[in-house]
Amino acid sequence: MSPASVVANELESSFDLDKSYGRRLVRRRVSWAWHLLLEFDIESSVEEQERDWIVNPPLLARDVGQGFDQVRLNLRRSQYTHPARNEGMNGTAVLFTFEVDFDRIA
């Protein structure tokens, strides 16, 4: 089942000194988290999608100037909101949290 809406937003980043620049105070991103919200028109399950993302994490294109062409998004958490049994036609909403893996991708 395809979601009725998809929204992706950055959640947080953290930075630390990049020691490869010696005494220069250059910072680099060391963590980066994203939220992905999927909303469905009916009650839905995303277990199959979660399994796929665990085995084959999605890739995110990055600014080549940062040193990496793309990064891997590792699924960290899923939060579900299901419709109340006797309320309208609301569907399931799932908020996924992804943590970026900065290792080079071959």
Model confidence pLDDT, tens digit, residues 38-58: 999 988 899 999 999 999 999
For the chain, give every domain's residue range.
5-101
Structure tokens belonging to residue 10: 């950055």
Question: What CA–CA distances, in Å, run from 47 to 24, 32, 94?
Answer: 47, 24, 11
* Residue range 69-105, pLDDT digits in tens: 688 899 999 999 987 776 666 789 999 999 988 776 5
- pLDDT tens figures, 10-38: 999 988 887 777 777 777 778 889 999 99
Model's pTM, two decimal places?
A: 0.79
DSSP letter string over the chain? Answer: ---SEEEEEEEEEEEEE-GGGTTS--EEEEEEEEEEEEE-SS----HHHHHHHHHS--EEE--GGGT-SEEEEEEEEEEEE---TTSTT---EEEEEEEEE-SPP-
